[in-house]
Structure formats: C-alpha cells, structure tokens
Chains A and B, each alone.
Chain A
Amino acid sequence: MMRRFAFLFAFLLALAAGPVVADDLDALRLADEAPADVARASDWSAFIEAAAGRSVLRNGMSSPDQRLSLDVQLDKRLAPGWRLVFANRLDMFWQDEPTRQHGINTLKEAYLGWQARDDLMFDAGRINVRNGVAAGYNPTDYFRTGANRSIISADPASLRKNRQGSVMLRGQTLWDGGSVTALYSPKLASQPHAASLNPDVGATNNQDRWLLAASQRLTGNLNPQWLLYKEERLPVQLGFNLSMLVNDATVAHVEWSGGRSPSLFAQATQVGDDTAFRNRVSSGLTYTTSNKLSLTVEYHYDGGGLRDDQWQALPRTSLPAYGRYRALLQNRLEAPTRDAVFVYVAWQDALLNRLDLNAMLRHNLADHSRLSWLEALYRADRMDVALQWQVNSGTPFSEFGAASQRRIVQALMRYFF
C-alpha cells in the first residue's frame, strides 16, 4: 500500500514538475537497464565469406559456383611512430563440380609506416594507393592496373576492396588544410604469376612508376587534389579531383586525368603510334533522400577508347585484335569505348530495419550493352547475408554482351570475427 502511495506521489510530482511524458519515462527506464560494457578497438579484423551461385552462360548452359573466402586486416602500432599494416584475402573457388577447385591469394597490403613528425610520414612495402572521387570509373586511380587477381563481384566497391597494392616507397607531408604525397614504385618483375599463393608483384610492379599528389583546402567546401603520374611507357599524366557539397543532400564530383598517350587499342595491339593528348573524365553527383536512399549518377568519358564506329567494326575486322583489346581493358578496368553512364542506388534500411537494397547499372552509350546488378543485404550483428543478381545484356561483341556469363545469381554469407 505504501509502495503504491509512493508511486502515486512520484507520479503526481512528475506531473507537477512539467513536461516529462510517459514515453520519456519509458525511455529513461530503458536506459537504466542498458548494458554498461564498453567495446575496445582492435588492431585486427577478419571475416569469412561463403558464397554459392549459378551462372547462365551465353550458350544457354548453366554452371554452379561456390566460393569460400577469408579476409584479414591488421593495423598495429609497433612502437611510437611505427606502424605495421597487413591485409590479405584468400579465395577458394569450386566451379562446375566439387573436384574443380582452385585458390587465389591476394596479398593486398604489407607495409611498414614511420611517422617522423605529426606532419611527416614515410611508408615502405606493398601499399594499396587509391586516388579518385568517382564511384564507377576512376581515371586518376593509376595503380589499379593489374591489381585485381580475383574478381568476385561486379560491384565497384568490391573491386576496390579486393585488390593488391603495389610495392613502393611513399612519403607524405601535411599542413593545416593541405598535403603533398610523393611515391616511387619500382619495377621488380616482368610478368604476372598466376600461381595461387604467389604475391604476384609481376602484376603490379612490372615497370617503374612515380606519383605526386597535392591538395589544398581553399574554402571549407573546396578541397581539390592535383596529381602528376609517370609510368615507363607513357608521358607524364595530369590528374584532378574535386567533390563539392551542392546542398544538404547533394555532393557533386569531377575526376579528370589527361596527358599524351597512345590509344588503348594501339597499346593493346602494339600497332602504329597514335599518341595524342587524351582526356579521361568521370563526373556526377550523389543525392540522398530523407528515407535513406542515395542515388549516384555518373558520366564517364575515356579519350583513349575506340570511337563508336571503330568499336562496332573491330570484331569484323580482326578477332585476335578484338581479343587483345579486351584483355588489356580487363587488366586496366577500362571501357572499350568513350562514353558511358553509371548509376548506383543504395537504399539503407529499405522496407525493413537492417535490410539494404543496392542496385547498379553500367550502360555503354556506343553499343548500348548493359550490366545490371542488384543486391539485397541483411545486416545481422556479426553477419551479413546477401543475395546478388547480375545480368549482362547486349549484342555478342558488345562490352557486356560478350561476357561468357549472361546471368549470375549468388547468395553469400559473411561472418565478422
């Protein structure tokens, strides 16, 4: 009885004290019971990923695929100013039948960093250097050539995550609002190595390269980056990156690289020299709605690609040249033609809390072929479960129509340790 009275008294007091509503009291009671433990940061992270899917090939046959992957990252401070970074991924594939198994290891990063001062750092080892503000095509991402050993998804984020760095020496100095980075990546081997566990420096370090990158914040919203890049067989290339806030919900970006170079076709076939100043541009914007949907639209221009008529005529003129051209494009993640459109939609907590829907479209404006990709991903506490669906459509020799797989459906599960 006394307890009831005390409760009633407290309630009346609460009413008299003003604006604490019942919802607020419920929330505060919930907070009283919330667990008090605090998670601690860890130097390492890892996840295991299992995927099973089926591809429908261009000839109408279908092919089952299974994959098991282990991804490990370590970022450890060894002593004041010294840092060790290591990132590795192992993909095991089973295609067609369980006996056809093969593995590919990707040594993504392994380097030692030294922070000489707050504003001066040096690194040595295999480093994944990625420049560029665009989402679907990065003309200034100069170190992407030969970087992907194992392609497990068409999602550009996956391509960027699952690639190997280049062996290099890197230095960076910073000041309030600006920075300069210089790096040198030497030639260490001539040819890529396909062996499963090979660190494959031949894929990333088959020529001498250097890069200078500088940025300076001009205003709070204007922070451009300029780049100078040189590789053995090309004149110096210039690069530029800028992303700007247009309004509360929109970010616009432009990424440009330009310089004298032969066309991609001339580089692939080693026939003739058509060196000229060529521009590569990726520009677009990302708009986010209040219901957690982000839409990115980009236009891509590659001045090193073939003109529409040249591309349409190539398979009729020379199939071997077509094959060599496609192989070069795959290695460099370039499109065969000059103009393309890229659309990416990410809808977080779509329909259900923790359910993300992602969709991507690549559209070649020359041959009108398309790559369409959809993903539904559910985020549990330590696990992601996803269903992915990809369709390559177009005429047989078009950019996406030539892919051996017409449709891919894949389910995957990722567990984070």
Chain B
Amino acid sequence: MNMQINNMRRLTIATLLGAVCHLPAVAAPDAQAILAASDAVRNPGYPFGLTTTLLEYRNGKQTDAITLAVYSKEDKSGGQFRSLIRFVTPARDANKLMLKNGNDLWFYDPSNKASIRISPQQRLLGQAANGDIVTVNLAKDYKATLAAEEDTQDGERQTRRCYKLALAAISPDVTYHHIEMWIDVSNNRPVKARFYTESDRLLKTAYYRKYQSQLGTERPTETVIIDGLDPNWVTVMRFSDYAKREVPEAWLQRDYLPRFKPE
C-alpha cells in the first residue's frame, strides 16, 4: 500500500511538474520531469500484467506473430522494471519464459527444464526484444534535455504540439545509446521516439498510439515500430488485458521460472 501511495505521489508530482512546465513565461520546462511523467503514462506505478501481441511485417506482408504475457514490477532500489515474460504463441514456443532484470536475463524452456542465462545480444535475436520499449522507465536510465518545442504528427496522423527531448544514456547497460522523444505538451503522452546507437545510427522509430483508459489513466495500447535500417520491416505491438498483479519478490529469480504458472 505504501508503495502505491509513493507511486501515486511520484506520478502526481511528475504530472504537476510536467504541467507546470507547460505554463508560458515560466522557466524552461524540466525535461527530466516531463520524461518521468511520460514514463508514468506508459507504465503503471505498481506491479501489473498485460498481454503483448507483436505482429511483424516485411515489405507490407505479415511474416510473424508473437503473443507474450508480461508481468512487470518496478525494482525497489533501481526504479527499473523487472519482468517475467511468458510466450503464448507461436505454438512451438508456447510456455517458454524469460526473466528480465536489467541485463540479468534468463530463458526457461519447460520442455527441457533448462534455465539458461542469455546475453543482451541473444535476447535481441527475437522480436520479443521490442517488449523492452514498453516496460522501461526511461527517466531512470537517460538524462533528458529539451531540444525543441514543435508540432509533429502522431501515430493517428494528427498534429500535436510536442516537447522534443534528447535523451542520453547514463546507465552503461542500456540497449540504446541515445533517444529522441516527442511528448505531448498538453498531457505528457509519449507520441513518438527514435532510438539510436552510439554511432548515431537509427535503430528504430516508435509511434505510441491508440490511447485508451487502462488501469486508471489513458495509456497507449499500440506501438508501431519501424526498423531504422530497413523501413519495410515494421512491428506492430498491441497491449491488452492490463491488470494489476502482485508479483512477489521471490518469483523474480531464475529458480522460480520452472514454477511460474500465470493466471
């Protein structure tokens, strides 16, 4: 309960900070607070579960479909999300599990009972890696600066007045070296983001769209990801079945994976 209150307080403070930042003729908006408020739009401040459907397209044709059941909980100390991810489809991967706690990554296959540590590079082999874009508190791993306030088109092709934030990694083990992020000035909703490597190569572009009321606030229920190298490689991520779920600390470890039986 205390954690919920703390999270609500944090969300409120972040939102207020964000709102204050919108006022004209006030000091420059606090980019970090805007980013934190935008994180809170994407992620509830308490343990939760959702279903993620990833549809992969290449050259306009659907080439893959993956469904994941994701259980996430914010780390008490680091503030980053730890997730238990269960593969629902494709059938060959059904009930395989992944535990993600920063770069501490474990993969469990129920058919051979093996819990294997995997490297971040191995995790990136699958489309499931895109799941990171959902349950990530960017404000914990990136330093935000306000690059501009400008109009941009959102995922519904509507023009939005946005803060354009430049995010620079402050944590060495993050996937993306720097990020450009557009956040709606009126409500701190993430609109669009571009993810880059250290050498400034565009890895992916993400549009956050189809906002719906989920767990008490309007959240994006779809993210469209466009590959930076091959723009014909598109991944549509749909989020459904949002639910508040208590995830005991003891479950977020390798030795619990064979026991994990989600509801």
* A residues whose Cβ falls under 8 Å from a Cβ of B: 10, 13-14, 16-21, 23-28, 30-31, 34-36, 38-42, 45, 47, 73, 75, 77, 83, 87, 113, 115, 118-119, 121, 128-130, 133, 157, 160-161, 172, 174-179, 181, 215, 217, 220-221, 223, 243-245, 247-251, 253, 286, 288-290, 292, 294, 348, 353-354, 379, 381-382, 384, 414, 416-417
Contacts and interface: CB of A to CB of B under 8 A. Distances in A.
A133 B91 contact: no
A248 B103 CA distance: 8
17 contacts: A14-B153, A16-B151, A20-B157, A23-B231, A23-B232, A27-B57, A27-B224, A30-B236, A34-B55, A38-B240, A39-B88, A42-B94, A47-B92, A133-B117, A175-B249, A179-B256, A247-B119
A160 B108 CA distance: 13
Nearest to A87: B111
B53 interface: yes
Instruction: Tell me the dominant secondary structure on chain A's binding face.
Output: mixed
Given A25-B157, A160-B113, A41 B207 contact: no
Contacts of A353: 58, 63
A181 B255 contact: yes
B155 A248 contact: no
Contacts of A34: 55, 57, 62, 236, 238
Contacts of B157: 10, 14, 20, 25, 28
B125 interface: yes
Interface residues on B, range: 35 or more
B253 interface: yes
Interface string B32-76: 000000000000000000010101011010110101010000000
Contact of A24 (B51, B90, B226): B226
Given A178-B253, A251-B118, A416 B90 contact: yes
Interface of B: 51, 53, 55, 57-58, 60, 62-63, 65, 67, 69, 86, 88-92, 94-95, 101-104, 110-114, 116-122, 125, 150-153, 155, 157, 159, 173, 205, 207, 209, 222, 224, 226, 231-232, 234, 236, 238, 240-241, 248-251, 253-256, 259, 261-262
Given A14-B157, A221-B103, A251-B118, A30 B110 contact: no
Nearest to B88: A41
A384 B254 CA distance: 29
A251 B88 contact: no
Contacts of B249: 175-176
B250 A27 contact: no
A175 B255 CA distance: 10
Nearest to A83: B261
B112 A45 contact: no
A160 B121 contact: no
Nearest to B117: A243
Given A130-B112, A251-B117, A175 B250 contact: yes
A128 to B, nearest CB: 5
A188 B224 CA distance: 57
Contacts of B114: 130, 160
B113 A129 contact: yes
B125 A288 contact: yes
Nearest to B158: A17
A408 B256 CA distance: 39
Given A28-B155, A248-B121, A38 B250 contact: no
Contacts of A45: 91, 94-95
Contacts of B234: 26-27, 30-31
B112 A161 contact: yes
Given A174-B256, A181-B255, A353-B63, A118 B155 contact: no
Contacts of B112: 130, 157, 160-161
Contacts of A129: 113
B86 A382 contact: no
Given A16-B151, A77-B261, A379-B92, A31 B121 contact: no
Given A73-B111, A382-B90, A31 B236 contact: yes
A174 B92 contact: no
Contacts of A41: 69, 86, 88, 94-95, 262
A25 B154 CA distance: 10
Contacts of B116: 133, 243
Given A41-B94, A161-B111, A118 B121 contact: no
A35 B55 contact: yes
A115 B159 CA distance: 52
Given A30-B60, A30-B234, A379-B92, A39 B67 contact: yes
Contacts of B152: 17-20
A399 B236 CA distance: 51
Given A128-B113, A176-B250, A221-B104, 9 more contacts: A18-B150, A20-B153, A26-B234, A38-B241, A118-B248, A177-B253, A243-B116, A248-B120, A250-B119
